[in-house]
Amino acid sequence: MPCKVVLAAEVASNYTTEIKSEVSQKTSKPKLVGFLANDDPYAEKYAHSSSKHLAEAGLAFELRQIPREELEAAIKDANGDDKVSGILVYYPVYGDKRDQELQDMVDPTKDVEGLNV
């Protein structure tokens, strides 16, 4: 059986349309907060790319670039903020087991990537 090439943009387009439709029916836009607490150029590129794609889907997104020493407190604040619907953390922050500890800090109901298991 030959392989079939599946373009990510085509798959994402279906989800984007569905999300856009659901968001447009809400009285307020869900707000996602992304934390960038590293100097990794790939993480920064991913953060800016996700910002663009989330906006296309009609979601409010705020990228917070902070020192990693402030990240734990920032996650706790976002967990407790009723205006924040979802949280993204752009890894690696430390590049070791502390990254898993940060993942576990994100409220599971706000963990956009599902890394808090």
- Rounded to the nearest angstrom, the gap between the alpha carbon of residue 10 and the centroid of all alpha carbons in its chain is 21
CB of 38 closer than 8 Å to CB of 93: yes
Q: From CA 37, how far away is CA 26, in angstroms rounded?
A: 31
What percentage of the chain has pLDDT greater than the value 90?
A: 62
19 domain-assigned? no
- Domain at 63, CATH number: 3.40.50.10860
Number of domains in the chain: 1
Over the stretch 16-41, which tens digit does the pLDDT of each residue have?
788 788 877 878 888 999 999 999 99
57 domain-assigned? yes
97 domain-assigned? yes
Over the stretch 62-93, which tens digit does the pLDDT of each residue have?
999 999 999 999 999 999 999 999 999 999 99
Q: From CA 102, how far away is CA 115, in angstroms rounded?
A: 10
User: Which of 23, 34, 84, 33 minimizes the C-alpha distance to 56?
Assistant: 23
Residue 1 confidence (pLDDT) above 80: no
Q: Which range marks the domain in which residue 81 is found?
A: 27-105
User: Which of 78, 82, 83 minimizes the C-alpha distance to 107?
Assistant: 78
Sorted by sequence, the CB contacts under 8 Å of residue 74 that are 6+ apart come out as: 35, 64, 66
pLDDT (0 to 100) of residue 13:
80
pLDDT (0 to 100) of residue 114:
87
Residue 10 — very low, low, confident or very high, per pLDDT cuts 50/70/90?
Answer: confident
* The total number of residues written for the chain in this structure: 117
16 domain-assigned? no
